[in-house]
Amino acid sequence: MLEKFHIITYGCQMNKCDSEVLSGILADSEYKYTDALEDADIVLLNTCSVRDTAESKVMGMLGRLKYIKEKRPDMIIGVCGCMAQSWGQTLIEKYPYVNIVLGTSRLPELPRLIKQLQELGQPAIDTLETPSDIDMPNPVRESSITAWVTIMHGCNNFCSYCIVPYVRGRERSRSSYSILNEVKSLGILGYKEVTLLGQNVNSYGIDKGDELDFAGLLELMDRESAGIERIRFTTSHPKDVPPNLIDAMASLPKVCEHFHLPAQAGSDKILARMNRGYTRQYYMDLVQKLREKVPGISITTDLIVGFPGETDEDFADTADLVQKVKFDVGFCFRYSPRRNTPAASMEDQVPEEIKMQRLYELLRIQDDISMAKNESIIGTDQTLLVEGFNPRDKSQLTGRTRTNKIVFFTGSAELIGKLVNVTIIGAGNWSLRGEQQESKEMLLGKVDGEI
């Protein structure tokens, strides 16, 4: 009798969101979640293929699971997500103790695969590209305050370095009706924040033709999501940021002032080779427009160093873009060749040690900028949505500003899930320290006490 499951998630928010969907599917089939991997009857690895390091971590975990399974031969090991999609049958050949391989578009098929495995005693594989169900309802969410809501699947952009379009298929937008229903029920359940997810949310609705565009969806959400205080979204492609989206961000009260806008590179030659569809100047103009229209907006980015053909001058252009734009946060990656992508077979691949040097240099530049940006808001008042305890120091709470900055402060557990005003009193490059401002109720209490 199978009872308990455990899921290990690798990669981006999209995967975390998919793991919540997988938990929901298993909970609907009467399985219970366990924190203890060794006790689980079903262990799922929800995998990422975006970089080689992500795949290596999964392989390391599969090595560990082999030993656990020797003691627990009935344990079912399933590999889901991007690696399952791209490796398929090869996973079973390489790791014969893997029992289930489940592709990115087929999550609802999990109970059927478990049944098939039990009946036939053979590994069960489903990596079909036809989506089982675009809505994938009933996730079991980790948080009861903030929720991820997938609004579209797949990507049509085919950046030359990226495996995502090959493992997650073409863009498929959910209907606005079904997204709105999900967000409305989250509001009723007491959630305070939603993050709308997709590989390129700005192209929401284009595949459906007659649907709302992304700005329209934000307007609808802002208006009809009683109880929800904050709306975020990720990720946006810089080539698809129309004026109405900037206006929506500027005018809609629930839409937070944070834009994750991956630049990837600062050299026009490299941007063209990456097939990004914009130039450095276009990107800088877009940032300027956003900053003019949305005062106080934070802009974060992704950057890749060591893309094939990147010379010292090209890298200097990226470093210069970072210095000029002054991102709040920059996620910097070494280019990692991915199977079957055009960039993997480009000549003039950059040696690993040069990629490493460039990565360190870019991280150093960005760290100084993030630190200076965070220091510049010391002394300001910020409203936080309190998400829980600081995982490293349970005597403190953690919350986020509207601009998505993490703030730790001392306060009581009753504040979790509430909007709280703090004054920023300290800064690091990844987080801030705050001090709670006295609320009207507390001030009234003091006056009463004095009387």
330 vs 399 by CB, closer to ligand SAM: 330
Task: For residue 54, state whether it binds ligand SAM (rule: CB under 6 A).
Answer: no
Q: Which does 33 bind (CB under 5 to 8 A by kind): ligand SF4, ligand SAM, none?
A: none
* Cβ distance to ligand SAM smaller for residue 49 or 398: 49
Return the one option of ligand SAM, ligand SF4, none that residue 51 interacts with (CB less than 5 to 8 A, by type): ligand SAM
Question: What is d(CA 276, CA 282) in angstroms, rounded to the nearest whole number?
Answer: 12
Cα separations in angstroms, 76 against 42, 43, 123, 328, 357: 5, 6, 10, 43, 42
159 part of the interface to ligand SF4, by CB under 6 A: yes
Please give the span between the terminal C-alpha atoms of the chain, in angstroms, as a whole number: 66
Segment near ligand SAM (CB under 6 A), from 161-169, 284-292, 413-421, 443-451?
A: 161-169
> Does 303 contact ligand SF4 by CB under 6 A?
no
By the rule CB under 6 A, 51 interacts with ligand SAM: yes
**Paired strand residues for 231:** 194, 255
Name which of 235 and 374 has its Cβ closer to ligand SF4: 235
CA 230, CA 241: separation in Å to the nearest integer? 20
We find the least distance from the C-beta atom of residue 159 to ligand SAM, in angstroms, to be: 7
304 binds, among ligand SF4, ligand SAM, none (CB under 5 to 8 A by kind): ligand SAM
The contact mask relative to ligand SAM for 302-341 (x = CB under 6 A, - = no) is x-x----------------------------x-xx-x---
Q: Is 305 a binder of ligand SF4 (CB under 6 A)? A: no
Binding to ligand SF4 (CB under 6 A) within 191-210 occurs at 199-200
**Going by C-beta distance under 8 Å and a sequence separation of 6 or more, which residues neighbour residue 157?**
165, 199, 200, 237, 275, 277
Closest C-alpha to 193, from 146, 233, 234, 249 = 146
Dihedral sign (CA 260, 264, 268, 274)? negative
- Provide the greatest CA pair distance for the chain: 80
In this chain, which stretch among 57-65, 153-161, 363-371, 373-381 interacts with ligand SF4, using CB under 6 A? 153-161
* Residue 103 to residue 80: CA distance in whole angstroms: 6
Q: Which is nearer to ligand SF4, 237 or 400 (CB)?
A: 237
Contacts of 71 (CB under 8 A, 6+ apart): none
- Extract the tokens encoding 126: 């489903």
Q: What CA–CA distance (Å, rounded) separates 385 from 403?
A: 11
Residues with Cβ within 8 Å of 84's Cβ and at least 6 positions away in sequence, in order, are: 47, 91, 101, 102, 103, 104, 127
Site residues for ligand SAM, 225-254, by CB under 6 A, read 235, 237
Minimum distance between the CB of residue 358 and ligand SAM, rounded to whole angstroms? 12
Taking CB under 6 A as the criterion, the residue among 155, 261, 263, 265 binding ligand SF4 is: 155
Which parts of this chain interact with ligand SAM (CB under 6 A)?
12, 50-51, 161-162, 164, 199-200, 235, 237, 262, 264, 302, 304, 333, 335-336, 338
